[in-house]
Amino acid sequence: MDRDALLAEARAVRDRAYAPYSGFRVGAALLGASGRVYVGCNVENASFGLTICAERSAVVAAVAAGETRFQAVAIVTDSEGPVAPCGACRQVLAEFEPKLEVWSEGGGVQGGWRLDQLLPEPFRELPERGR
């Protein structure tokens, strides 16, 4: 699947975002190694800490379907330019693919990064001590 097709998937799911507090709707489309696409949108909550981002929503859908290897993620927002994933989303994505391609679109402007550029030192499980 190419960048434009994955961005189109993210654009479509963005319209289903639940963002009554911020008004900032986000859609994400995650391309699995299998070629299957998993989508997610942000879902806000009055208790802001319970809000889930679109990228993590897509990861949860993929894992629930049994997919844990990914090629790329596309993110579409209502902003005036491309927006990178937040820190929490970067860490969750890095759990599965530290060099994931990240494509973003906002206001019709596209941009992209590799995840390891956005999060060069992700948290990793600490090695066992004393061995």
As annotated, the active-site residues are: 55
Here the contacts of 3-8 (C-beta below 8 Å, separation 24 or greater) are: 3/72, 3/74, 3/103, 3/110, 3/112, 6/31, 6/37, 6/72, 6/73, 6/74, 6/103, 7/74, 7/76, 7/103, 7/105, 7/110
Distance separating alpha carbons of residues 124 and 43, to the nearest angstrom: 27
Yes or no: say if 39 and 13 are a contact pair by the CB < 8 Å rule: yes
